[in-house]
Homo-oligomer: A and B are copies of this chain.
Amino acid sequence: MARVVVDVMLKPEILDPQGQAVQRALPRLGFEGIEGVRQGKRFELEVAEPVTDEALARIHELAGTFLANTVIENYTVRVEEGAAA
């Protein structure tokens, strides 16, 4: 069983109120020196067999049509090595 990770983040030019809320809370909580926070989503997909190029292409399609809203979000797809489930 291989693990494929899809990270979905708001595009840099899109306002991220969640990340801003985290960032504003940090000094109150005693954490200084963090100049920016963006919050996004991480999906871990368990995929059977060795991950073929075809399977990865399908996961790219899935990520771009279903997991991410590509109008406002970017996504990355990567196979996580050594993550047997």
Residues of A that sit less than 8 Å from B by CB: 1, 7-9, 19, 22, 25-26, 29, 31, 33-49, 55, 58-59, 62, 65-67, 85
Contacts and interface: CB of A to CB of B under 8 A. Distances in A.
Contacts of A66: 22, 25-26, 29, 31
Identical chains bound together, number? 2
Contacts of A43: 19, 22, 37-40
B45 A36 contact: yes
Contacts of A65: 29
A67 B21 CA distance: 12
Contacts of A36: 44-46, 85
Given A35-B46, A40-B43, 14 more contacts: A22-B43, A29-B66, A31-B62, A33-B48, A33-B58, A34-B47, A34-B59, A35-B47, A36-B45, A36-B46, A37-B43, A37-B45, A38-B44, A40-B42
